[in-house]
Amino acid sequence: MSLQELKSDDLIRIDNVDYNTKFFILRAKRLHNGKYTIIAKNSVGEDRADFDITVLGKYNSIVKKLL
């Protein structure tokens, strides 16, 4: 499986600061469900982590069901 690089745009935001990266999917939809891999590289090496994202539905409808 080949990896597709994501870059910040209107729907994806990636914030990089020293020792911390945050990944946001703005207005996430079920089509964003899936396995993602984050890769950090610097002069001494590389590290990677895999994670799954599951979008359940609209935020307001989920909160109402929980209450």
Q: Structure tokens of 50?
A: 């895999």
Question: What local confidence, expressed as pLDDT, does residue 33 receive?
Answer: 92
Cα 59 to Cα 18, 23, 51, 65, distances in angstroms: 31, 18, 21, 10
Instruction: Give yes or no for residue 62 having a pLDDT over 60.
Output: no
pTM above 0.85, yes or no: no
Q: 14-49 pLDDT, tens per residue?
A: 998 888 888 899 888 888 899 999 888 889 999 999
> Count of alpha carbons within 13 Å of 3, Cβ hemisphere only?
11
